Chains A and B, each alone.
Chain A
Amino acid sequence: MNTIRQISLISLILSSSAFAADLALHGFVDARYGLRTQNDPNKGDKTLEELRLQLSRVWYQDLFTATVRSDFLFDGVANNHDQLNLETGKGPVDLREMNVQFTPVDWMDIKAGRQILTWGTGDLLFINDLFPKDWKSFFAGRDEEYLKAPSDALFISFFPPFASIDFAYTPRFDSDRFIDGERFSYWNGAALTGTDLKTERQDEWLEDDETAARIYHTFEGMEFAVYGYDGFWKTPQGFDPVKGKNTFPKLSVYGTSIRGPLAGGIARLEGGYYDSRDDRNGTDPWAPNSQARLLAGYEHEIIKDLTGSAQYYIEHMMRHNEYCDAYPGPSGTEADENRHVLTLRLTQMLLNQNLTLGLFVYWSPSDQDGYLRPGVSYKLTDHWLMEARGNFFFGEHNYTFFGQFEDNSNASLAARYSF
């Protein structure tokens, strides 16, 4: 994009941010640029080239609270400014929130509309949180808040004395914003490719819906929760060989978690059973197998202003023999029966907490792959933040979860002005 256009766009956004402050609008202007740290034969060098304006406004009324928060984006990598799809976030507008929250009776809250939904105990690992994620943003080094994609949902919470109950109804399936060749190359089942992943997504209102529930209670400082989900695999893990398109097979998840203080830190344990309803006996080569997933984690302050956190995670395939017998891909690229992942997070705060050094590591000894996320951010003033991030993938094989992204490893720089 040419420099003059870029400068005029920046000045337009900055002047509109001054105007926004007068209207009790808040938000930020965020510029990011990222490059691959090696060649990718399937993709260009740039992983990020964007200028983003976020505006938000909250109205606190006696009977309700209304929230609108939206991003306006120039994205020089996706280059899809002529498209506008609020559902997938493609194009120049990414509507993050537009909802109304109210309390019809004092034991119930309702939030309706576009919203970010989160629950569960994992740290950048998700078992019972089946709300949409944005893996493209995560891998490209956008702010961590963008890992969560919005849901269009009705969220009802009940607060009887014995527990709290959350119920999320999404009338039309919201998939993850998954790796589809737009920005990153991926393993397509036979080879690495950067071409668009063709998918067929269920999109009938009220029919292709998702329901998620959580019941939780805190007792003696320990938080106990049970979860349920009925919907679809959030990434296109199925395949329709007739149409040649990837699909989102049916999925139900049942799980539980415990979280609380332990020996001066926070410990957590979470498990879930992934019931892949389109392939319960594990013999369908075009639908994923059922799984059991478990994670255990512990966080502790190591020394003053340095916090460490570690997790162990396992994904167990329920019918591995049947899966191997039916496996359609090249021999030797089958998934293991158990996928083990270890994570480590280190966060160091310096200079009055204005400088943050962070590192998050995923490492899978079974897949022999991993993903390093180092980052440095510095708050120059109360308004200005500068940061540098890395997203480094490594792996022995092209077909494992992180290994397939090795050529997508990237580093990025960002500046953000918040108002």
Chain B
Amino acid sequence: MKNWIFAITTLAVCNGFALTVDEIVEKANQAAYYAGSDGQADVKMVITDATGGERTREFRILRLNTGAGSQKFYVYFKEPADVRQQVFMVWKEVEQGKDDSRWLFLPALNLVKPIAPGDKRTSFVGSDFVYEDVSGRALWEDTHELSGETETQYLIKNKPNNPDAVDFSEYTVAIDKTTFLPVKAEYLDKNGKLFRRVEAVKIETIQGHPTVTESRVEDLARGGRTINFFSAVIYDTGLKESIFTERFLRRPPREATK
């Protein structure tokens, strides 16, 4: 499931008698973001800026598939101290024209605050990952093209259908032919220069699901990088949908605090 942190969702046609475009795109999207009916993981994020300064974030993330591509996420922060016990919740929508809903819970004020949907290419908690890396990029937002193929990987070039809405002109994703997990994505800026690289550093099979347990993003333009370490990954825990409500923002459930 940590695969949703690892943001590559798209694929394209392959040759010959193999899978159709739609089948591949769907398979990769499922492998990266939808494994199991639900999942949870402890995430440690190490953010290193261009000058070598290091910051860490630690949180528990709960994810539930709620049907037709929509999902609910519950992120419970443990570190650093100034955000401890804060909760970030997302109801993700993939249907065209529908925005995600996001909330923040601030424990010191006991305040549940809806957050304006905003730019999905904004940094997630100050890291080099963006919101879209966490919850996925809808398939319809890009045009996909098979740009190459090796024995083990498909190489897919993706061009945004609405270039003004994003910070890249295109990105190429390498997808493992066996697991269908995206293992590397490289983003070109508006001038066609490589500026961002996301990689799956470590993959383990957990409960039958190939799972990225370490991922890395590099900001090649500014020099920063962020590494995510995933632990305590569990699928199909039977998460209840009621957890993803105001009640459990104000009163974090055992699934988040234990």
Binding site for B on A (CB under 8 A): 26-28, 58, 60, 65, 96, 101, 109, 115-118, 144-145, 147-148, 157, 159, 164, 216, 218, 221, 223, 259-261, 264-266, 299-301, 303-305, 307, 352-354, 379, 381-383, 385, 416, 418-419
Q: Which residue of B lies closest to A143 (CB)?
A: B108
Pick from A28, A101, A300: contact of B251, CB under 8 Å: A101
CB<8 Å pairs between A and B, sample of 13: A26-B81, A26-B84, A27-B81, A58-B85, A115-B110, A118-B110, A144-B109, A147-B109, A261-B101, A261-B117, A304-B122, A353-B126, A383-B80
**Closest CB of chain B to A360's CB: distance in Å?**
15
The answer to whether A383 and B257 have CB atoms under 8 Å apart is no
Q: Which residue of A lies closest to B50 (CB)?
A: A352
Q: Which residue of B lies closest to A417 (CB)?
A: B81
The answer to whether B110 and A383 have CB atoms under 8 Å apart is no
**Closest CB of chain B to A341's CB: distance in Å?**
21
The answer to whether B109 and A116 have CB atoms under 8 Å apart is yes
Pick from B79, B114, B254: contact of A382, CB under 8 Å: B79
Name the interface residues of B13-60: CB closer than 8 Å to any CB of A: 47, 49, 53, 55-56
* Chain B neighbourhood of A259, CB < 8 A: 114
CA distance A265 to B81 in the complex (A): 30
The answer to whether A418 and B80 have CB atoms under 8 Å apart is yes
Pick from A216, A299, A304, A419: contact of B121, CB under 8 Å: A304
**Closest CB of chain A to B78's CB: distance in Å?**
10
The answer to whether B123 and A353 have CB atoms under 8 Å apart is yes
CA distance A369 to B221 in the complex (A): 47
* Chain A neighbourhood of B118, CB < 8 A: 301, 307
B119 within 8 A of A: yes
Known: A26-B84, A352-B49. A164 touches B246 (CB 8 A): yes
Type the 1/0 row for B187-210, where 1 means its CB is closer than 8 Å to any CB of A: 000000000000000000000000
CA distance A265 to B123 in the complex (A): 19
Known: A352-B126, A353-B123, A381-B55. A301 touches B116 (CB 8 A): yes
Name the interface residues of B105-148: CB closer than 8 Å to any CB of A: 106, 108-111, 114-119, 121-123, 125-127
**Closest CB of chain B to A99's CB: distance in Å?**
11
Taking A304-B121, A352-B127, A419-B81 as known contacts, 17 extra A-B pairs with beta carbons closer than 8 A to each other, sorted by chain A number, are A145-B109, A148-B108, A148-B110, A157-B247, A221-B101, A259-B114, A260-B114, A264-B99, A266-B115, A300-B116, A301-B119, A307-B118, A354-B55, A379-B82, A382-B82, A416-B82, A418-B80
B224 within 8 A of A: yes
The answer to whether A305 and B108 have CB atoms under 8 Å apart is no
**Closest CB of chain B to A18's CB: distance in Å?**
13
* Chain B neighbourhood of A300, CB < 8 A: 116
The answer to whether B117 and A118 have CB atoms under 8 Å apart is no
The answer to whether A145 and B108 have CB atoms under 8 Å apart is yes
The answer to whether A60 and B258 have CB atoms under 8 Å apart is yes
Pick from B55, B116, B123, B127: contact of A266, CB under 8 Å: B116
The answer to whether A109 and B56 have CB atoms under 8 Å apart is no
CA distance A172 to B53 in the complex (A): 50
The answer to whether A159 and B247 have CB atoms under 8 Å apart is yes
CA distance A29 to B110 in the complex (A): 21
The answer to whether A264 and B55 have CB atoms under 8 Å apart is no
Chain B interface bracket (under 10, 10 to 19, 20 to 34, 35 or more): 35 or more
CA distance A65 to B251 in the complex (A): 9
* Chain A neighbourhood of B115, CB < 8 A: 266
The answer to whether A383 and B81 have CB atoms under 8 Å apart is yes
Q: Which residue of B lies closest to A419 (CB)?
A: B81
CA distance A353 to B57 in the complex (A): 13
Q: Which residue of A lies closest to B124 (CB)?
A: A353
CA distance A115 to B84 in the complex (A): 18
* Chain B neighbourhood of A157, CB < 8 A: 247
CA distance A97 to B247 in the complex (A): 19
Q: Which residue of B lies closest to A299 (CB)?
A: B116
Known: A28-B81, A261-B101, A353-B126. A307 touches B254 (CB 8 A): no
**Closest CB of chain A to B220's CB: distance in Å?**
16
**Closest CB of chain B to A167's CB: distance in Å?**
14
Pick from B82, B117, B254: contact of A264, CB under 8 Å: B117
Name the interface residues of B144-185: CB closer than 8 Å to any CB of A: none
* Chain B neighbourhood of A299, CB < 8 A: 116
* Chain B neighbourhood of A28, CB < 8 A: 81-82
The answer to whether A117 and B114 have CB atoms under 8 Å apart is no
The answer to whether B116 and A148 have CB atoms under 8 Å apart is no
Type the 1/0 row for B60-100, where 1 means its CB is closer than 8 Å to any CB of A: 00000000000000000001111011000000000000010
**Closest CB of chain A to B132's CB: distance in Å?**
13
Pick from A118, A148, A164, A260: contact of B247, CB under 8 Å: A164
* Chain B neighbourhood of A159, CB < 8 A: 247
CA distance A21 to B121 in the complex (A): 36
* Chain A neighbourhood of B49, CB < 8 A: 352
* Chain A neighbourhood of B84, CB < 8 A: 26
Known: A60-B258, A109-B247. A352 touches B47 (CB 8 A): yes
CA distance A418 to B251 in the complex (A): 23
The answer to whether A418 and B82 have CB atoms under 8 Å apart is yes
* Chain A neighbourhood of B127, CB < 8 A: 352
**Closest CB of chain B to A124's CB: distance in Å?**
11
CA distance A109 to B245 in the complex (A): 14
CA distance A109 to B253 in the complex (A): 12
CA distance A117 to B118 in the complex (A): 28
* Chain A neighbourhood of B53, CB < 8 A: 381
Known: A116-B108, A304-B121, A382-B56. A261 touches B99 (CB 8 A): yes
* Chain A neighbourhood of B117, CB < 8 A: 261, 264-265, 301
**Closest CB of chain A to B99's CB: distance in Å?**
6
CA distance A261 to B118 in the complex (A): 11
3 tightest A-B CB contacts, nearest first: A418-B81, A382-B80, A353-B126
CA distance A141 to B248 in the complex (A): 31
